[in-house]
Amino acid sequence: MKANEIMTADVKVIRPGTSIQSAAEEMRNLGVGALPVCDGEKLVGMLTDRDITIRAVAEGRDPGKTTASDCMSPQMVYCFEDDDLERAQQLMKTNQVRRLPVISRDKKLVGILAIGDLATKTERQERKVGETLQEISEPPAR
């Protein structure tokens, strides 16, 4: 099975200059914990609720003036839409991420693959999803 078969398409994105207050409101309205940050059609980062908490709130930054680009996760981990789910799961495990942007071969965002998608949209994946979630949740080696 391929990533694009179970990913969530038509994902809401934000721009790098979007305030984290607006981003948090959007997350609340959509019921999500992360938003892709795109400059035009190019994916430049991911902003998570944890990024906002750790990189802005904990540092006392003004949420109306702090932007997505100030707080977003600096390293991009993604899979291609035609990647097998095994590869996507391995990327999630290795990088300890619960959400993986899915891009086309011409580097345009086409969706998001979340651990929940793996759990609810695939057959006979329970053991693999459990292993992936366990490895994502383990503290990183120091």
What are the pLDDT digits (tens) for 40-63? 888 999 999 999 999 999 999 999
Q: CB of 14 within 8 A of CB of 130?
A: no
What type of residue sits at position 82?
D
Q: What is the DSSP string of 65-109?
A: T-BHHHHSBSS---EETTSBHHHHHHHHHHHT-SEEEEE-TTSBE
Instruction: Name the CATH superfamily for 3-137.
Output: CBS-domain (3.10.580.10)
Q: Is the pLDDT of residue 124 over 80?
A: no
Residue 119 has a pLDDT of: 82
What does the domain layout of the chain look like in residue ranges? Answer: 3-137
Whole-model pTM: value is: 0.80
Residue 137 has a pLDDT of: 62
CA distance 137 to 61: 28
Q: CB of 88 within 8 A of CB of 115?
A: no
